[in-house]
Structure 1
């Protein structure tokens, strides 16, 4: 029996599902005594450093957790759980950690880096460990803004390191106590293998694991560019939940909603084909349902049973009153999605309204959905979905917005344009440009930009490099390129011509016009780093 330290924060469903997928039973910690009595304990660190530690203290879990670690009873920590082993973190000044390890966890500092680090990176082993039996150097999934430095970790604890602008600590182990900065439950087959090694309870020192130092292959690890499959989900006229795809955001064909498959089945197919992430965009309000019956909750719950890469959910992340008259904040809605299996949430129209208010005063209120969700779950959990379209002008002075000189003049020969943000599925334009929106949302605590392009959507003509470079130059958080992919070559081009961390497609994957495997092969042959 595996015991899971679920303290009520974020997505622990994926860890629970991974344990069950590997053939083990799992039970949750119900009281502090369960921490001490567990045969094997998994501590999934989900959320910001402060929220994790405060919840542990609220439930009386800190002291028994420290006692268990000092007693060398098996513990596996994941992500923020590794950081919690230290005395504190820059993420939450003044909040005390477990103090098993001395020092502070600090934010990535190199100015050229996109922070958070979101995506697939490698690890170098510094000592043998049975947990890495069968590991062949595959990339693993990271999502974090703060890291432990080599200077802060005693050599006897150091297990793995990873490079992201610097070499940082990505794994520690001493005796039966292990913690990873990466998420094994989100790292596909390689991560499940590592997790399975822990669950097998082997401490057999005869297990041979070749470390990078010993084999002479210790080298700088590199981040992979991500290929993301996006599923637009809505109900059709018969009430069935389907994956659809718009043509310039129009999802109907001859009066009927395009039905390109069932969301859970398609997500599993893309995972098996090698997608690095899966994004669900709920393009129906579903306001007639009480919160507990929201259809997307079930989609996430069922998908996370068999899909072990990150899941993002977008659409409807805002305040609302359900059909039973119960009021929900955007944080309430996001929390339900996280508990159902989402790793990140995507905010669209509401982000535009929030950015407009922020730009009026330049002050944070702490009340916006972006701020609230980021504070509790961390910046890496908040994605901003931007839906812009080109507005042409003759010269920059003709508008107050951020313009570019374009290589693709407007209908009357205009050489400049700005990108107007839209809401309500592209139906309404706002007096807000894409750079203003992205920069404002980053300041409010968002951790990633999903950059769509209405002009490119459904054209299969390739991504809008001008838009991507325009926004990328204005933010320090990762950017996902979206809209316009029509071939594997378009993915190669976007990673060669821009610094986007990821690229997303929908229709060409749904219709099997371009398999994900073909995209990965083209990227590999072009020298683009992939997993």
Structure 2
């Protein structure tokens, strides 16, 4: 059965390429800002291209924070891409007009990469943890990145006494180690662009769509 995926349309992001990539892996895709559709879909994809604060402001303008919160509270899958990963964290040091505070789903700050060449642009290998669902079959592949800012530390304290599985964090390097992807229950996100990452990116999206209940 085809899974219904909403690509959240809030005025920013790689929306058309994301829609096409999801359709190619068999999803029934709708590009919309409609709250009801976003809440009821099997999966929600939050794209993001541009400055953190502007993307965050665009999301808040359509109650994107509320949509993500309500979906996750019900265990409904959400996938963020690029700045769509970054806004899941608490805040960013990137200058720009808009809202500097993110959605706060994960602790952490998005910071400028301390590299000689920025932006980080191109194909880069990733370090995948054991048991990853997103990277099943593509653990040793390279993925396409375009970004100047990233989360360089991931610290999530377990307050459940081990009742909840710890997030699976995938890392990459450019000047320093940074978060390339996170899988945390119903919430997953990638700093790279799977829709621009060829066969490996297509398989990652296929894995995500296949995981939707």
TM-score (norm 2): 0.86
Aligned to 1:196: 206
In the alignment, which of 27, 47, 52 is matched to residue 49 of structure 1? Answer: 52
Aligned to 1:105: 110
CA–CA separation in structure 2 for the residues paired with 1:42 and 1:197: 14
**Cα shift at 1:41:** 1.0
Moved over 3 A (4+): 151-155
**Cα shift at 1:202:** 5.8
CA–CA separation in structure 2 for the residues paired with 1:20 and 1:35: 17
Cα distance per residue 1:174-203 (max 9 Å; x no partner):
112110111110000011011111111268
CA–CA separation in structure 2 for the residues paired with 1:118 and 1:154: 32
Aligned to 1:134: 137
Secondary structure of the residue aligned to 2:141 is coil
Instruction: Write 1 or 2 for the structure with the bigger share of strand.
Output: 2
- Aligned 8 A contact 1:33 1:64 in 2: no
Secondary structure of the residue aligned to 1:130 is coil
Aligned to 2:18: 15
Cα distance per residue 1:227-247 (max 9 Å; x no partner):
xxxxxxxxxxxxxxxxxxxxx
CA–CA separation in structure 1 for the residues paired with 2:19 and 2:198: 15
CA–CA separation in structure 2 for the residues paired with 1:136 and 1:125: 6
Aligned to 1:37: 40
Q: Which runs of 5+ in 2 are unaligned?
A: 159-165
CA–CA separation in structure 1 for the residues paired with 2:154 and 2:66: 27
Aligned pair 1:82/2:85, yes or no? yes
Q: Which runs of 5+ in 1 are unaligned?
A: 204-531
CA–CA separation in structure 2 for the residues paired with 1:116 and 1:129: 27
CA RMSD in angstroms, aligned pairs only: 2.0
Q: Report how many residues are paired.
A: 201
TM-score (norm 1): 0.36
Cα distance per residue 1:260-317 (max 9 Å; x no partner):
xxxxxxxxxxxxxxxxxxxxxxxxxxxxxxxxxxxxxxxxxxxxxxxxxxxxxxxxxx
The 5 A counterparts of 1:33-432 are: 33-92=36-95, 95-110=100-115, 113-153=116-156, 156-201=166-211
CA–CA separation in structure 1 for the residues paired with 2:157 and 2:141: 26
